[in-house]
């Protein structure tokens, strides 16, 4: 069982930057895929960024809406996933969630339902 805890959310001015963190604990060695999702009021939860984890990992995928502005990364030693957000605007306002799944295949394009571990979410408000 994997536990995920996000942190780093808050209020940011338009054009500003923010870095989110997701600390993994428990059976974190089983994670081969990790991602950031977000959900704005009245909208469906959507992929922000994904990446493969472990030996041979490091391949990344970004939503078109954040490509070039957001960066997903990991710190293996600290079991932490990061999302660096730059050039924020009002459309980025949402609850941000980190998620993980065991299997590597389909990590970057697979269905959201295949992510079996989720954090509680951290709110990012841009104004």
Q: What is the pLDDT along the chain (127 residues), one digit of tens a residue?
A: 899 999 999 999 999 999 999 999 998 888 999 999 999 999 999 999 999 998 888 999 999 999 999 999 999 888 999 999 999 999 999 999 999 999 889 999 999 999 999 999 999 999 9
Question: Tell me, what's the pLDDT at 104?
Answer: 87
Does residue 2 sit in helix, strand or coil?
Answer: strand
Nearest to 24 by CA among 64, 78, 87, 66: 78
DSSP 37: E
Question: Tell me, what's the pLDDT at 33?
Answer: 96
Question: Tell me, what's the pLDDT at 55?
Answer: 80
Question: Tell me, what's the pLDDT at 89?
Answer: 97
């Amino acid at each position: 069982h994997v536990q995920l805890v996000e942190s780093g959310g808050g209020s940011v001015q338009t054009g500003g930057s923010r870095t989110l963190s997701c600390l993994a604990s428990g059976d974190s060695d089983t994670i081969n895929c990790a991602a950031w999702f977000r959900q704005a009021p009245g909208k469906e939860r959507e992929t922000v960024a994904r990446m493969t984890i472990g030996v041979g990992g490091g391949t990344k995928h970004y939503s078109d809406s954040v490509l070039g502005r957001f960066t997903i990364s990991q710190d293996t030693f600290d079991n932490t996933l990061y999302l660096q957000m730059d050039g924020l605007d009002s459309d980025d306002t949402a609850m941000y969630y980190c998620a993980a799944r065991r299997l590597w295949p389909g990590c970057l394009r697979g269905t959201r339902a295949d992510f079996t571990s989720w954090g509680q979410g951290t709110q990012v408000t841009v104004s």
